Amino acid sequence: MANPTISREPHWLNKSRMATSLGITTQAFDKWGVQPVAKIGRDVFYDVRSVLDNRLKHQVTKDQPVDDNGNPIDPLIEYKQAQQKLRLTTEQADAQEMRNKVKAKKLVPVDFCLFALSRLSAKLGSTLDTVHLKVKRKCPDIEVRHLEAIQREVAVTRNDAVGLADLLPELLDEFVDTLDEGAG
């Protein structure tokens, strides 16, 4: 870095004069690691701007907390943790509110709807199985072809009834989609 064509500037100070002007020893100044602005022969010169930049950079890194591995710690970590705790507390409160509504029978879970509808459709299917027998008992003179026609229609209806529980998730998705469209 030594360049004989460079002339010394009046605001440049050598290491000992810079350390004296700062009120520190030359060893302490060396530990700071300030980059010289010029070298002329064996003389090394520093300016105030270099020292100031060095100290500002040092202050920023000094104020920045680091973990055990030397990585900087996010200064907003406590705020972010508080936000997460607030979010968790809100979710817990919402979940408790929903449980209370279920207990008060003002809210019905989808799983219960599936269970109840499958039970009801099975009961409806078994009831429909006996319709043609009841008709024959009440009307003994009914023709067999009419009874078979009734039995065919009841079988179709019974199969539709048993499949109602399987339709509930699809119907729920459709209902939620209509809610989303209404909100948009």
Mean pLDDT, consecutive 10-residue stretches, the chain (184 aa), reads 64 85 88 87 88 84 70 80 95 94 86 82 83 88 89 86 78 80 64
**With helix as H, strand as E and coil as C, how does 11-77 read?**
CCEEHHHHHHHHCCCHHHHHHHCCCCCEEECCEEEECHHHHHHHHHHHHHHHHCCECCCCCECCCCH
